[in-house]
């Protein structure tokens, strides 16, 4: 009998904890929001070295310099330009850079190759971070 009372007490305590958690989510306005994601597949090279990419009702400008080699990401005022140094070794690299705009943060994923014959940067994915 005592064992049943202990199990009943633990069950009631567990149920009360779960219920207070769910009610707390509702009261404090925590919602299961969908995060933004897109695949722009924009390639920058010596012929196309500047591009504006729109995402989640926002924009960012991307500039590429092969002689640096560098990728410049300009999310606009008041956030300032970011510079990403690129490896100049002829190998394909995958990289990402996080930009915060307002209260939201976004990860820009890109791949690139820097060599004497074929140099390019492709921005292939933008994800909003939760």
Residue span of the structural domain in which 66 resides: 37-129
Strand order in the sheet with 58-65: 50-55, 58-65, 70-74, 82-85
pLDDT score recorded for residue 24? 54
Distance, CA of 60 to CA of 27 (rounded, Å)? 36
Together in a domain, 97 and 75: yes
Closest residue by Cα to residue 124 from 113, 103, 114, 110: 110
- State pTM to two decimals: 0.70
pLDDT means per 10 residues in the chain (130 residues)?
72 62 52 81 94 91 91 85 92 93 90 90 93
Together in a domain, 4 and 48: no
- Number of domains the chain contains: 2
Together in a domain, 81 and 120: yes
Together in a domain, 41 and 105: yes
Together in a domain, 41 and 27: no
Alpha-carbon dihedral angle through residues 7, 8, 13, 15, given to the nearest 10 degrees: 110
Together in a domain, 48 and 84: yes
Together in a domain, 5 and 50: no
b or e along 104-117 (b: 16 or more beta carbons within 10 Å of the residue's beta carbon)? eebebebbbbbeee
Together in a domain, 69 and 108: yes
Beta-carbon neighbour count of residue 84 at 10 Å? 19
pLDDT score recorded for residue 6? 76
Classified as helix, coil or strand, 59 is strand
């Amino acid at each position: 009998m005592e064992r049943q009372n202990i199990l009943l007490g633990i069950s009631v305590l567990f149920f009360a904890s779960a219920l207070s958690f769910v009610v707390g989510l509702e009261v404090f306005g925590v919602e299961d929001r969908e995060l933004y994601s897109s695949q722009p597949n924009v390639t920058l090279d010596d012929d196309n070295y500047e591009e504006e990419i729109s995402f989640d009702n926002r924009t960012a400008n991307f500039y590429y310099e092969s002689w640096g080699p560098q990728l410049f990401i300009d999310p606009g005022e008041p956030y300032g330009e970011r510079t990403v140094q690129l490896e100049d070794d002829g190998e394909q690299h995958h990289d990402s850079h996080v930009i915060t705009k307002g209260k939201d943060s976004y990860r820009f994923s890109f791949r690139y190759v820097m060599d004497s014959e074929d140099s390019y940067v492709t921005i292939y994915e933008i994800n909003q971070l939760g």
